[in-house]
């Protein structure tokens, strides 16, 4: 593997996401019966039926890879293939403690994506939808700490037509190298067996944090588990996690406010704002 592929593999290992490395090559061009051009994506995630190709090794190859990808989609429309560009790759690694973005300079707040009024209006709409879907039921709202606590407080107060239960769950990462795992450091106290559970998240991006939490909750044998997230950063999704309720889809930007933080700051902002981040220049690859 190239070092960038090794880092991506470590990230998948960290979150226990099964993958295969270059498991299949797709013929693209033939001369008679002889294949003269093929495309071999770097990673395949079997549980998501998703291929990934990294474009961080030589940026001069991006145009060629895009051409091959278009050809793959024409010849094999049933295949899900996504390119990860350098910017996508660096941001993904930086969010989870890898790569140069972890040392990026943060200049301060950027522009407001959603105002307090817009957020509160959307919370009310989500509450009405939940009341309709769970009429006659007593759902258990389980907030994922810490980013969900502001959203969950507003949400349950809007769900006034139902009797509800509430609890929280929190996870931590530990270990090093191949032995790193996700550990539940605060589990729910409510017995979830036979209950209708709504997992409440402040934001869902890659889905890699939410997946083990859902598996942990589902092991408690609830009647159902659905996810309600205030912000959906779908452009960064790696693991396909079902969002029954989503407030706003947001672009691939660093955001804070309404429970979301940077170094534990800005959670108290009543609106969602971007942050001005100066990304370090990538080190040229030889």
CA nearest to 267, candidates 171, 169, 168, 147: 147
CA nearest to 5, candidates 70, 87, 93: 93
The DSSP secondary structure of 22-86, one letter per residue, reads S---EEEEEETTEEEEEE--SEEETTTTEEEEE--S-GGGHHHHHHHHHHHHHH-TT--EEEE-H
**Whether the Cβ atoms of residue 139 and residue 164 lie closer than 8 Å to each other:** yes
The DSSP secondary structure of 79-143, one letter per residue, reads --EEEE-HHHHHHHHHHTT-SGGGGPEEEEEEEEEE-HHHHHHHHHHHHHHHHHHTTT---EEEE
> Do the bridges between strand 272-278 and strand 105-114 make them parallel or antiparallel, or are there none, so unpaired?
antiparallel
The secondary element (H helix, E strand) that includes residue 152 is helix 149-158
Cis omega before residue 146 (within 30°)? yes
Residues known to be catalytic = 205
How far apart are the C-alpha atoms of 78 and 15, rounded to whole Å? 27
């Amino acid at each position: 593997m190239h070092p960038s592929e090794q880092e991506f593999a470590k990230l998948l290992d960290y979150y226990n996401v099964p993958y295969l490395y270059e498991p299949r090559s797709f013929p693209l061009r033939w001369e008679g019966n002889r294949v003269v051009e093929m495309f071999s994506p770097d990673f395949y995630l079997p549980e998501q039926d998703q291929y990934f190709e990294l474009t961080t090794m030589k940026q001069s190859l991006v145009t060629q890879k895009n051409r091959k990808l278009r050809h793959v989609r024409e010849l094999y429309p049933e295949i899900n293939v996504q390119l990860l560009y350098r910017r996508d790759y660096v941001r993904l690694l930086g969010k989870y403690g890898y790569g140069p973005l972890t040392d990026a300079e943060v200049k301060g707040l950027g522009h407001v994506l959603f105002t307090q009024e817009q957020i509160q209006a959307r919370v009310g709409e989500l509450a009405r939808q939940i009341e309709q879907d769970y009429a006659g039921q007593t759902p258990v709202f389980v907030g994922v700490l810490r980013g969900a606590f502001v959203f969950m407080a507003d949400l349950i107060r809007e769900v006034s037509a139902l009797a509800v239960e509430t609890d929280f769950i929190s996870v931590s990462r530990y270990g090093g190298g191949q032995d790193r795992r996700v550990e539940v450091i605060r589990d729910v106290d409510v017995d979830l067996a036979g209950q209708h559970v709504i997992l409440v998240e402040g934001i869902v991006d890659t889905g890699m944090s939410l997946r083990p939490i859902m598996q942990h909750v589902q092991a408690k044998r609830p009647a159902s588990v659905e996810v309600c997230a205030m912000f959906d950063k779908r452009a960064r999704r790696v693991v396909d996690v079902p969002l029954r309720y989503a407030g706003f889809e947001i672009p691939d930007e660093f955001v804070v406010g309404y429970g979301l933080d940077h170094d534990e700051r800005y959670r108290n902002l009543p609106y969602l704002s971007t942050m001005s981040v100066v990304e370090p220049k990538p080190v040229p690859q030889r």
